[in-house]
Amino acid sequence: MRHVCAKGDEIDHDPMKLKRFCKCRISLALPLFLICSNIFQMTQIKDLSIPGRAALSNDTGRFEAVRSEDVDDGWGGDAAADPRIVTEIREELARSIISYNKSPDLPFDRSINPYRGCEHGCIYCFARPSHAYLGMSPGLDFETKLIVRPNAADVLRKQLASRAYSVAVMAMGTNTDPYQPIEKKWGVTRACLKVLAETRHPVAIVTKGTLIERDIDILSEMAAQGLARVGVSITTLDAKLSRRMEPRVPSPERRLKMIERLSRAGIEVRVMASPMVPSMTDPELEAILKAGRNAGASHASWIMLRLPREVSGLWKEWLTTHYPNKANRVMSRLREMHGGKEYDAEWGRRMRGDGHYAEMIQMRFDLACKRFGLGQSAPALRTDLFRPPHKDGRQLSLL
């Protein structure tokens, strides 16, 4: 029997000598083990996550003159750390429901948002900063303090009846998800959809919410007339990652089932591999597109992770808490694609960035679409069937 040390020297197999050697090796290894253990303990990051929520903090909105802070009053514990955060819903009577934009890199110039804030709570949501305009935090407030606009359908009808209105595709889900959980109770999205169906107004919907299946009866009829299509966002196929990143969104598997049900009903569906998180979810790009095609999607698109305003801080806080080993790589890739910044809001660059990494993902996307038979540009929806409503709710006669 031969025993060889780390340097390659042979050790006598005499039991007594071997015993002394083992003791020596253990005595030398023990301090190193303790040092490594201490380093590991010092580098561990406390998990501050709240069950069912993505944001880890609730900083005051950027427009507020006064900021709030947690203060230790000496009683022990931390009342502010109570994980039982309930969703609050407030009503807002809208005076206008159609929002217009002039962004040259968007495929639409108008949209409807029945809700402010989103209970899906996606940590990466680029709409979070909009909550600051309401005097609330883009953090936890965005996903727990929601505003519903119950009169949205009535206001939409009035705006469509205006003589100055010119028809074009109406987008839904461009800011917050129209099929987030509270839609089940309030039904504002369905009410707006009914108005669009009655007036034969084209609509393009983006959602992660399976509640859209409830409205297949309306959407299938509109789709048959060339008036509706749906985009379903799938960020990752990893259920564990999805649960952390988008805590109240249906699972990836369930969203694929949603694509299948919509497509079987004759509704054109686009699988959206969005947002792509560099060095985290982008390795899944081809798998997401293939899964979407197998489920029935006919078209595809992708967008890179965007970190405007407060989203940057919220994202980094989440990333370093849940995936500290990947944080530096993810952020360095983003800076690489945005000229050294974490986000560049310049039109034409904000959606996908530029540089070698962005170009590589685009090439992979192009090849995957070709391989799986997915289109990148969907046929235009019809606008020639539009019938403006009367302001009193009666539909104009074709005669």
pLDDT at 343: 84
Q: Is the pLDDT of residue 333 over 80?
A: yes
CB atoms within 10 A of CB 265: 17
* Residue 396 pLDDT: 46
- Higher-confidence position of 344 and 247: 247
**% of the chain exceeding 70 in pLDDT:** 77
- Side-chain-facing half-sphere of 1: CA atoms under 13 Å: 6
Instruction: Give me the pLDDT at residue 344, please.
Output: 84
pLDDT at 349: 80
Among candidate residues 114, 64, 117, 61, the one with its CA nearest the CA of residue 89 = 117
pLDDT at 227: 98
Per-residue pLDDT band for 362 (boundaries 50, 70, 90) equals very high
- For domain 84-372, give the CATH number: 3.80.30.30
- pLDDT 10s digits, 90-130: 999 999 999 999 988 888 999 999 999 999 999 999 999 99
Residues 88 and 84: their CA atoms lie apart, in Å, by 12
More confidently predicted of 284 and 348: 284
pLDDT, residue 46, reads 46
Decide: residue 318, CB within 10 A, 0-12 exposed, 13-18 middle, 19+ buried.
buried
| pLDDT, tens digit, 9 for 90 and up, residues 156-209 | 999 999 999 999 999 999 889 999 999 999 999 999 999 999 999 999 999 999
Q: Report which residue type is found at 137.
A: S
Q: Give the full edge-to-edge strand order of the sheet including 115-116.
A: 88-91, 145-148, 115-116
